[in-house]
Amino acid sequence: MTSLSSEVSDGHSKSVEDVLRTLGTSAKSGLSTAEAARRLEQYGPNELDDREVRTPFDILVEQFKNPLVWLLLAAAVGSVILGDIVETIAILAIVVLNAALGFFQEYRAENALASLRKLSEPFASVRRDSDWSRIPAHEVVPGDIIQLEAGNRVPADGRLLEAAHLQINEASLTGESMPVEKQTGPLPAETELAERSNAMYLGTIVSAGRGIAVVTSTGMSTELGRIASMLAQVKKEDTPLQKRLARLGMQLTWAAVALIALMVVVGLFQKTPIKDVIMTALSLAVAVIPEGLPAAVTVVLALGTRRMLERKALIRRLSAIETLGSVTVICTDKTGTLTLGRMSVSHAAIASGIVEGIGEASFDAGKHSRLIPLLAIASLCNDAPVHQQEAESSDDEKNAAPEAGDPTEIAIIDVAPRFALDVAALRAGLPRVEEFAFDSDRKRMSTVHQLDRSAAEPLAPVLSEASSGFVVGAKGSLESILSISTQEWTTDDLKPLDDASRKAWHALHDDLAAEGVRVLAVACATRSDLPSGDDIERDLTFLGLIGLSDPPRAEARDAIAKCYQAGIRPVMMTGDHPLTAKSIADQLGLKSEGEPAVGSKLTGLSDEQFTEIATKKSVFARVAPSDKMRVVTVLQARDEIVAMTGDGVNDAPALQQSTIGIAMGVTGTDVAKDAADVVLLDDNFATIVAAVEEGRIIFGNIVRFLTFLLSSNTGELCTMGVAIALGLPLPLLPLQILWINLVTDGFPALGLAFERSDHDSMNHPPRHPKAPLLGRGLIIDLLWIGFVMAIVSVAAGAVITGSLAAPRPEDESRWRTMIFSVLTLTQLGHALALRSWRQTLWEVGLTTNRLLLVSVVVTSALQLAVVYIPALQKIFNTVPLSLTEALLCPVFGSVIFIALEARKLIRRRFFPNAQHDNEP
């Protein structure tokens, strides 16, 4: 559908008259009701297209996109062919349980995300038929004349017609932390989005002042809509865990198919009865499939999700929590992520010197009482409401949505209580009687207050004993305030403001500005009579400077240091000025070559040039959404696992493109949350690092129970292979194998999911994204452990027969029960040994993983039940063992445990620096 936005895409470079003419509207009367209705029909409602919502059905279907699940279903079909209903029900129960676990966890996460979204319908003040009216924002059309006031959310993109001290917070769109002061004059056509001071954009917030604008674009034609369109074009890649499990699933699938084909060929060649051929093939197929793996992976990821939710991170997709452990690069926004997202007073300067660190918790205001007159005048010459004054502000309060009002004025009010300055009482005692509002030409604000000596104690150092009448306060740019000042306060006296002093103040101002600090100058004067006109702003006393910045989070520096320690490269990408970006990067210890990369200089670069910058630079300033996406894409092309954090609309495309998208839950926009895999409920960068650590622990546990499950399967296969090679009967029946894989292996595997013994997971680099789950060391372990299990199990069977010969028909069930029980107990010993790769069970602590210990006891009890309870004997084809035979089972079953514990001691004694490649 054609949009007017294409005709006014360069509206910032045109005059107001030209824009109105192009849009066919009038600033005085607006559109007619009929014309507005016609345009609404033509251009559609002022809404963004809904994101692709994951329905419950979609979530359920995703649980079955797993080759292992397909293998289980194939095994169920084989059981049906054999007429074994018990096996069929058991296999299908495994499939349903696994799907249910994954479905309910992800469905709950989707519902939790939905509860974060604001449900209120935005409105807009629109002039139609020459009258102002309030309408739902989705009814706004191109050509509408709208009114803006402090606190309003901008309903569409537009060109400003009038601007009275208008400031708009565009951080959610551009990343710029400071509100943009707006004006109405045309700008050069090449002006960047973040610097178009005569335009307004959908979703941004009016911080101060008022204005009138004409709507140029609505819905998907807005800047926000273009970002939404970019999101729709981004295809989310599978996570490393999903890729590894899919690869493993396919390998096991082909292994099962090959074994089944081999058994069928051998059986037909030996003219074995077809039922026996199918039974043997099904037994081998079931032995290949680690039935407990899907459920174990789901449970361990769900457990990680619960742990992260306790630490204020909402995991929307289960695989995301493990993938965090594989992250190699974290691309993060600055405003509200690495910083508080709120201006605060960081510096102050008076004639006696500069004071730094005012915003830090350790700052002792009592030692700097000479700053009180400076802050008192700045608090009087200030429009921020006193109710925003807070002695102590929690991080959650500081991270709330942008407040109405100038952030610099709010910051001055916020810091006053630290100096025991009661702004409410000061304003009540010195009421404002006159003012000159701030404007972009004068670059200052001035106010006049009735002087009451009894209420003016904070100003006493700058007032003479004869002072009476009125107090004038002014604040603004240094040049502006110096131009109306004739003397300066030295903290002891007043002296003329000479050229040397002016140069000193300029040098100090430039030093602060170079650190990315916003600087305000403050001056005052007394008048015996109520001043008016130019008399208000002349012969002032210069008091000093106030430096303001959006400070780094206290915990961000440590979090970034921990990233470097863990082999992770943090990258800051912001829409802010390069000086501000560099200052924050230096304060946080971000390592980057040279100066920050600037967005405007990235546009024309070739892919090779851009790649070089993306791989070397760690600080990017003035970046556009397309720049962020390009950086993420380039890094992914170099096999990096990229996590992108952010809170604004401008972050959404890169959140969607990245391997792991992490949105801010408090200050984050709904668009960003929808695009993310993880939502931080406390907007704390340190939580990301905690999530990475949790992800590494979880991956270690996945490798741990994968080793456990697959070695069990290998043991079963080797046992059957050895038996067949020796001419023995089938040592394990399909249902017995299913019991081992589901119960004997399943319960301890879940216990291993709770293991927390990897305390040094952040002291080594992340695993290579292409490293297979089945590494060389793991494969070697599977082979030797499986072979030893087979030897031990068949040897245990020889106790029944007295030799390695085939058992007599009457002893076959007891022989098979012995092998079945020994193989079960061998697995339990293996689980206990796998708690740590280097420490023995006694060093880790037998009771430090109580769930695993309970699972071992419960599984042993269940195995006894299968052997000795008549009803279960019929189902599993077992017979009771004698006391001697029963006591021999744990003796044979402890061989693997003893071997693995001995290997740990040998490795530490003779190979202390060696690392097994299945260590996380």
Cβ neighbour number for residue 838 with a 10 Å cutoff: 16
Cβ neighbour number for residue 419 with a 10 Å cutoff: 18
Q: What is the phi/psi pair of residue 556, to 5°?
A: -65, -40
Residues of 346-358 as b/e, b for ≥16 C-beta within 10 angstroms?
bbbbbbeeebeeb
Angle between helices 812-833 and 883-893 (to 10 degrees): 40
What CA–CA distance (Å, rounded) separates 354 from 489? Answer: 14
Helix (H) or strand (E) holding 898, with range, is: helix 895-910
214 strand-pairing partners: 145, 159
Residue written as token pair 């010459």 = 381
DSSP for 98-119 reads: HHHHHHHHHHHHHHHHHHHS--
CB 449 within 8 A of CB 470: yes
CB 262 within 8 A of CB 720: no
Residues of 80-111 as b/e, b for ≥16 C-beta within 10 angstroms?
eeeebeebbebbbebbeebbebbbebbeebbe
For this structure, is 781 an active site residue? no
CA distances from 211 to 147, 150, 182, 361, 433 (A): 6, 9, 9, 38, 25
What CA–CA distance (Å, rounded) separates 492 from 478? Answer: 22
CB 197 within 8 A of CB 131: no
End-to-end CA distance of the chain: 53
Write down the catalytic residue from 333, 647, 677, 781: 333
CB 794 within 8 A of CB 731: yes
Residue type, 255: A
Cβ neighbour number for residue 614 with a 10 Å cutoff: 26
449 strand-pairing partners: 432, 471
Cα Rg for the chain, rounded, in angstroms?
A: 36
CB 574 within 8 A of CB 581: yes
Structure tokens at 565: 């320690």
Closest listed residue to residue 620, CA positions, set 632, 608, 604 = 632
Residues listed for the chain? 920
Residue written as token pair 């004694």 = 909
What CA–CA distance (Å, rounded) separates 509 from 519? Answer: 7
Residues of 169-201 as b/e, b for ≥16 C-beta within 10 angstroms?
bbbbbbbbbbbbbbebebbeeebebbebbbbbb
User: 278: Cβ–Cβ under 8 A, 6 or more apart, which residues?
Assistant: 78, 81, 82
Residue type, 67: P
Q: What is the phi/psi pair of residue 342, to 5°?
A: -150, 130
CA distances from 784 to 299, 389, 899 (A): 29, 69, 11
Closest listed residue to residue 104, CA positions, set 365, 281, 295 = 295
What CA–CA distance (Å, rounded) separates 438 from 436? Answer: 7
Helix (H) or strand (E) holding 717, with range, is: helix 685-725
Closest listed residue to residue 816, CA positions, set 867, 891, 744 = 867
Residues designated as active site: 333
